[in-house]
Structure 1
């Protein structure tokens, strides 16, 4: 998560668990046909669980629409269970929630974990700090039972917040990281790794579907892929290296002209980031080409011109992923349209882009830890 821009085991054999997410608005080499998903089981050591919706063991949580644009879902921690609304984030690796230990005023607008009310709680006393793009969190590490739908992870290490900085108005209680273990600030085994290790899922795969225009319907699924959420082929992209959901991107183009990422660059696929971030100079060039004008912290275009603006095409591993103007512009509460491109302030030795929810609403994404790759397909 590059923070959100503006920011017991119930074992399933050959099953998929889907966790509904809620949209929240906050101020944050092409493969041949033989490599498509329907032939995946022939080529790999484990069998990818495929289903077309009903008929498989699927756990679904009720949705709650908070506002617009960030995706959250419910989990529980402790015995008896205490429920929290968290961001499922491929950009970070730790689970943490707000707690009664927190002294920051912002904590009291969230659900707080009450450790004395959980019979399975175990303290650790180790502290940690997480720095995000627009704030920080200091916490203490503990262990307890965590439930994600029908999946139960016992003795899971997680963080309890003690202090927050710059997180006013964030409408969630914590973060559930789905990145690789090396990015864990708590030093513990992340949730997804424990799901694998404890046999709660049959395959080391999870996937996201993020709804485009309605608060309902978004899901994160574990242990397999529901093919009803995408159309056409699922194209696989190898990671630059195992340990981060980062891939090579060939170029970014518009009207058949390369406008960024000439000569290739890197792209981080991040469900915990709302918009699309890139180097300032290149973002400014894109904004100029589409005629966006600054107003405060955002850049606006005429809503009447959105249907005439060109698509911006992200070419990844030889395959084009167009993003139409209707996807890269967002209408605010006043009825004005602003763009979804934002400067990435993090320093990097190579040109790096963060493909957040604006991109992932268009493209269903699969995260394959067994083969260290990401699958992308046109979302329905």
Structure 2
């Protein structure tokens, strides 16, 4: 009863704030709630989402999923699968397309310290005879596919196909703070032809707009989220720059160059890049990364003097004719008195050449909108 009363209070307050503050002063609901000491609860228990079963008229088709910031390197949130719900933490990954979680049939050590899905405990689970095998840049899994109800934020997706791992070789997934992965890229790269979660959100008319947006906090701060079906306008005060996709596989775009304000460092004649929430660093062809390290005065391992950070230039990624700078404070990682460039050599061949990966180091500085309706990506600088 107390929770319901608190929800009623939050709903009433948020309606009041929207009508009296947002419309008058242009202040976001998030900022207004923060001023009233209610932001943390609102983000965790969005009243429009939790109260929808009590107040159906409040149920919208925009849902914000809070993400936990793990050392500025990985961002994950909680979803549920099955009836009754079994909860899992998953990495929301724009660089892959499958949803999978560990299962009770998994024999790998990586599954012993993570939550495991038990099909026998779900009345809505439907098994298949289809196998699943996924190889990531780090780590891999094998298993089988099944169907069940999946809930992400306030969005309930029925008959969602997902993977149940049986093996997770090596030790990579043993040490990850999340249980599984929820891919947000295109169906064309989904293993075993599985329909991605966001495609089912769209086809089942569960989102108001066929897009989602991402904010990844930096400096161990909280507040990260992925918003399905909407854009938080308080993060786009400087407007959005739209970049058309060059392929409907990953969220792939054409990059004009990588440079400082004085000279081009790599990708001089344009290249292909992807914006990937599932990759921590900035990655590119090994030879190009070596050139960047050399130009910035780092050694072959990317190590650099911490004393030089203040004098280091911005690295500018030119996309669709516009410059998107990343400052040294973002692309240099400091730990225990040592500093290293957040660039990683990785050869990821495609028909259009080796891909660059603009991972979390890039996304920290921009609010990103992934627009499936128009096959484009929107970027807005964060202050």
Global fold match (TM > 0.5):
yes
Match of 2:292 among 286, 290, 299: 286
Instruction: Indicate the structure with greater helix content.
Output: 2
RMSD: 1.7
Q: What aligned pairs does 1:167-246 form with structure 2 within 5 A after superposition?
A: 167-246=173-252
* Deviation beyond 4 Å, 4+ runs, structure 1: 10-15
User: How many Å apart are 1:231 and its aligned residue?
Assistant: 3.4
1:305 aligned counterpart, secondary structure: helix
Distance across 1 between alignment mates of 2:213 and 2:238 = 16
Distance across 2 between alignment mates of 1:170 and 1:335 = 25
Distance across 2 between alignment mates of 1:188 and 1:88 = 16
User: Which whole-Å deviations, capped at 9, do the CAs of 1:198-239 have from their partners, x for residues lacking one?
Assistant: 111111010100002234110100111011123312000001
Q: What aligned pairs does 1:268-283 form with structure 2 within 5 A after superposition?
A: 268-283=274-289
Do the aligned partners of 1:12 and 1:201 also contact (CA within 8 Å) in 2?
A: no
Do the aligned partners of 2:277 and 2:363 also contact (CA within 8 Å) in 1?
A: yes
Match of 1:92 among 68, 93, 96: 96
2:288 aligned counterpart, secondary structure: helix
Gaps of 5+ in 1: 1-9, 25-66
TM-score normalised by the chain length of structure 1: 0.82
State which structure, 1 or 2, has the greater radius of gyration over its C-alpha atoms.
2
Question: Partner of 2:343 in structure 1?
Answer: 341
Gaps of 5+ in 2: 1-55
1:20 aligns with 2:66: yes
Do the aligned partners of 1:159 and 1:186 also contact (CA within 8 Å) in 2?
A: no
Distance across 1 between alignment mates of 2:188 and 2:319 = 25
Do the aligned partners of 1:270 and 1:357 also contact (CA within 8 Å) in 2?
A: yes
Question: Partner of 1:366 in structure 2?
Answer: 369
| Aligned residue-pair number | 325
User: How many Å apart are 1:315 and its aligned residue?
Assistant: 0.3
User: How many Å apart are 1:79 and its aligned residue?
Assistant: 1.1
User: How many Å apart are 1:164 and its aligned residue?
Assistant: 0.8
Question: Partner of 2:118 in structure 1?
Answer: 114
2:157 aligned counterpart, secondary structure: strand
Which has the bigger relative contact order, CA under 8 A and spacing at least 6? 1
User: Which whole-Å deviations, capped at 9, do the CAs of 1:253-295 have from their partners, x for residues lacking one?
Assistant: 113211101011111111111101111111011111112224x
Distance across 1 between alignment mates of 2:57 and 2:133 = 33
Do the aligned partners of 1:11 and 1:200 also contact (CA within 8 Å) in 2?
A: no
